[in-house]
């Protein structure tokens, strides 16, 4: 057992224009512990760890690392002190090998100063074996799966002799297998004295991996407790200021009327090597979930339906009428909305204010339909304010640039955009990744309301409990194929996992 303090932050204050991100926060980290940091979107979690990592400056307070006090940190200083951060988004260099990425900052050289790729690969091989990561060190990063990239980012942090590892929502896009691999890696290193700060909105994970948990709310510390001395029922109210009983539970009674109503048919979508002849139907008012492991072809299917990628064939029929979209523009025209998984790349205009992002699609549609609407700034902002309130988007004003919002609040802006776009068919790809428990519950209520209004809802999610609680039907994909459709009593987490892993690949009989 390793003892002692790895880090102590005292009275940390950080202000942004219009926002007090941290109001005198205390936080400490013991050697060899996993200390979880939880709180609502915008509570100040990323700000605190970015201050520790030296990438954000702080207004006042002290940070003790080991036995030294620091009133100022910068990224290289923090790295020297053994602090390594694994960011949510991939920061590896795609076009070079795994081995070169791991040793990017001190590549072994030949006598003539060239990179010695052979010894680099050998060293990486030793490290990866030691970490139990089954990835070929000579492969290019671009050829790896998302999960393997994440594991390589962590291996890289370890290779740089991290004493403090910061993981900001590391499992946000991982499925169960990826999460297990990550956890066993953390446990292994913790036992050797590595300390980890772990940020996650999956509160159940905290109980699996953390030794202590600190709750932040509105830039203040609410509590720090040993994991054995707290519970979900204590943490949730501390985070969101109301009890966990108030969280979303869908009442599925009275949803048996789905046999009637308009029918959307996804017919035989296929793209060689990616999506394998997928067909299913959704009734107006139905919430249809798509489960599966990362890489099962779910996002790719959505991209075909939305016209982002060309399909070899496949058509979309609404009550028999062909509405197959040739392009996203076309899709929006046909009343299809697509909330993408990759928000930063395709979902938001980061340097534009919140209100413009929210009202964008709707206005494009109205202009195309030649609806007489002069762009009315006051109305645009008013409409955006309603959405901001509905989704509890934490921003000083609707004129704030999206880039200045916390990760989860950015996510809510994209969601707001599609809710406001008034589409008949909405495809949500991982709608609640990075979103706190309280807001998740509000989002589920909005999705339910959309369904009650007769929209067609398709939700892709790696969060199986989420699918079970929100959907009427769950289709499971594996290797590009739809291998099962689960309804009623069959729709359980266990069944979803079983079919995702291919323990059983028989399509369930239609109910």
List interacting residues with ligand ATP (CB under 6 A).
16, 19, 21, 39, 41-47, 394, 404-409
CB of 45 to Mg ion, least distance (A): 5
Q: How far is the CB of 444 from ligand ATP (least distance, A)?
A: 18
Q: Give DSSP secondary structure letters for 113-152.
A: S-B-HHHHHHHHHHHHHHHT----TTSBGGGS-HHHHHHH
List of residues contacting Mg ion (CB under 5 A) = 46, 406-407
Binding partner of 405, given Mg ion, ligand ATP, none, CB within 5-8 angstroms per partner class: ligand ATP
Residue that has been written with the tokens 């029918």 in this structure: 263
Neighbours of 132 (CB within 10 A): 11
Tell the residue number behind the tokens 């060293």, with chain if given: 123
Structure tokens at 203: 């509160």
Which C-beta is closer to ligand ATP: that of 172 or that of 304? 172
Q: Which is nearer to Mg ion, 46 or 441 (CB)?
A: 46
Residue 44 binding result from Mg ion, ligand ATP, none, given CB thresholds of 5 to 8 Å by partner type: ligand ATP
- Whichever of 324 and 432 has its CB closer to ligand ATP, that residue is 432
How do 34-38 and 5-16 pair as beta strands?
unpaired
Q: Which residue is nearest to Mg ion (CB)?
A: 46
Q: How far is the CB of 231 from ligand ATP (least distance, A)?
A: 21
What is the phi/psi pair of residue 21, to 5°?
Answer: -70, -40
| Minimum CB distance to Mg ion smaller for 407 or for 475 | 407
**Minimum Å distance from CB 409 to ligand ATP?**
5
Closer residue to Mg ion in complex, CB, 283/394: 394
426 binds, among Mg ion, ligand ATP, none (CB under 5 to 8 A by kind): none
Picked from Mg ion, ligand ATP, none, the partner binding residue 42 (CB below 5 to 8 A depending on kind) is ligand ATP
Picking from 408, 428, 411, 440, the residue whose alpha carbon sits closest to that of residue 247 is 440
Sequence-separated (6 or more) residues with CB below 8 Å from residue 499 = 291, 476, 478, 483, 484, 486, 505
For residue 84, the tally of other CB atoms under 10 A from its CB is 22
- Tell me how far apart the alpha carbons of residues 19 and 319 are, in angstroms, rounded to a whole number: 50
Nearer to ligand ATP (CB atom), residue 40 or residue 500: 40
Cα torsion angle, 61, 63, 69, 75, sign: negative
CB of 221 to ligand ATP, least distance (A): 12
CB of 403 to ligand ATP, least distance (A): 7
Q: How far is the CB of 239 from ligand ATP (least distance, A)?
A: 10
Decide whether 201 or 271 has the Cβ nearer to Mg ion.
201
Positive/negative CA dihedral, 154, 155, 156, 158: positive
Find the shortest distance in angstroms from Cβ 49 to Mg ion: 8
User: Whose Cβ is closer to Mg ion: residue 41's or residue 101's?
Assistant: 41
Do residues 358 and 349 lie in contact, with contact meaning Cβ atoms separated by under 8 Å?
Answer: no
Question: Cβ(410)–Cβ(351) under 8 Å?
Answer: no
What DSSP designation does 255 have? -
Locus of tokens 């029929």: 317
């Amino acid at each position: 057992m390793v003892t002692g303090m790895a880090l102590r932050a005292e009275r940390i204050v950080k202000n942004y224009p219009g926002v007090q991100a941290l109001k005198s926060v205390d936080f400490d980290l013991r050697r060899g512990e996993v200390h979880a940091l939880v709180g609502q979107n915008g509570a100040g979690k990323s700000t605190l760890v970015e201050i520790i990592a030296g990438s954000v400056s702080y207004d006042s307070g002290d940070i003790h690392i080991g036995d030294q006090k620091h009133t100022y940190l910068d990224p290289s200083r923090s790295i020297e002190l053994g602090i390594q951060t694994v960011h949510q988004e991939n920061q590896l260099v795609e076009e070079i090998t795994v081995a070169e990425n791991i040793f990017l900052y001190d590549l072994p050289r030949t006598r003539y100063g060239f990179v010695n790729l052979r010894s680099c690969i050998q060293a990486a091989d030793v490290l990866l074996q030691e970490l139990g990561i089954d990835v070929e060190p000579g492969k290019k990063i671009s050829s790896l799966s998302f999960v393997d990239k994440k594991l390589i980012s962590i291996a890289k942090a370890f290779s740089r002799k991290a004493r403090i590892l910061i993981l900001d929502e590391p499992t946000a896009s991982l499925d169960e297998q990826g999460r297990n691999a990550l956890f066993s890696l953390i446990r292994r290193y913790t036992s050797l004295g590595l300390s980890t700060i772990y940020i996650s909105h999956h509160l159940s994970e905290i109980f699996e991996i953390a030794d202590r948990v600190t709750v932040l709310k509105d830039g203040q510390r609410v509590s720090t407790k040993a994991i054995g001395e707290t519970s979900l029922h204590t943490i949730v109210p501390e985070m969101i200021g109301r009890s966990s009983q108030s969280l979303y539970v869908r009442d599925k009674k009275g949803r048996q009327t789905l046999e009637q109503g308009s029918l959307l048919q996804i017919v035989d979508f296929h793209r060689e090597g990616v999506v394998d002849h997928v067909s299913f139907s959704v009734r107006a008012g139905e919430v249809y979930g798509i489960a599966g492991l990362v890489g099962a072809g779910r996002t790719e299917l959505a991209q075909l339906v939305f016209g982002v990628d060309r399909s070899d064939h496949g058509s979309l029929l609404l009550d028999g009428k062909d509405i197959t979209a040739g392009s996203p523009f076309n899709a929006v025209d046909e009343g299809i909305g697509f909330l993408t998984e990759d928000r930063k790349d395709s979902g938001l205009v980061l340097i534009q204010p919140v209100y413009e992002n929210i009202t964008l699609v709707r206005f494009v549609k109205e202009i195309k339909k030649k609806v007489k609407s002069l762009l009315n700034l006051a109305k645009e902002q008013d409409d955006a304010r309603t959405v901001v309130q509905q989704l509890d988007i934490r921003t000083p004003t609707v004129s704030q640039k999206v880039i200045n919002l916390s990760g989860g609040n950015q996510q809510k802006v994209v969601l707001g955009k599609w809710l406001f776009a008034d589409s008949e068919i909405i495809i949500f790809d991982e709608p609640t990744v990075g979103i706190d428990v309280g807001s998740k519950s509000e989002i589920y209520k909005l999705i339910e309301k959309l369904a009650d209004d007769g929209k067609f809802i398709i939700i892709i999610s790696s969060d199986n409990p989420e699918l079970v609680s929100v959907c009427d039907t769950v289709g499971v994909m594996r290797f590009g194929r739809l291998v099962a459709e689960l309804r009623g009593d069959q729709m359980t987490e266990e069944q979803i996992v079983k079919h995702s892993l291919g323990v059983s690949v028989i399509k369930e009989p239609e109910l």
